[in-house]
Amino acid sequence: MEESMEKLLKELLQKKLHGTLTGDEELILSDLVEQKRGGGDISSHSFRSPDLGALNNLINDTESLNSSLDEMANKIRNRTGQSEAKRTMAEEDRKKK
């Protein structure tokens, strides 16, 4: 199974765990599970139907969310670093007095 399909499988399983999986995503998930178990080609109807557009949208949305989360994590790291620097400066000021 390709790495991108493995990643999609994990994301869909997370959504299922949280109860946010849509009907189309459920079909895609079952196909991916079937492929992983059988190790063969995907033969279910969801990949032969126009749901490939839904899969593409899901992948794009996931990439966008990951990008947003990375951006937020970087902001948090920056603010944490600034906070620690201010705290260190304040402690040094207290020691001087």
* Sequence-distant (≥ 6) Cβ neighbours of residue 80 within 8 angstroms: none
State both tokens at 7.
Answer: 């990643």
At 47, is the pLDDT very low, low, confident or very high (cuts 50, 70, 90)? very low
pLDDT tens by residue, 65-92: 888 999 999 999 999 999 999 999 999 9
Structural domain that includes position 17:
3-96
Whole-structure pTM over 0.75, yes or no? Answer: no
pLDDT tens by residue, 4-36: 888 888 888 888 888 888 888 888 888 888 887
Higher pLDDT, 16 or 51: 16
Q: What percent of the chain has pLDDT over 90?
A: 28
For helices 23-38 and 52-96, the axis angle rounded to 10 degrees is: 90
Number of domains in the chain: 1
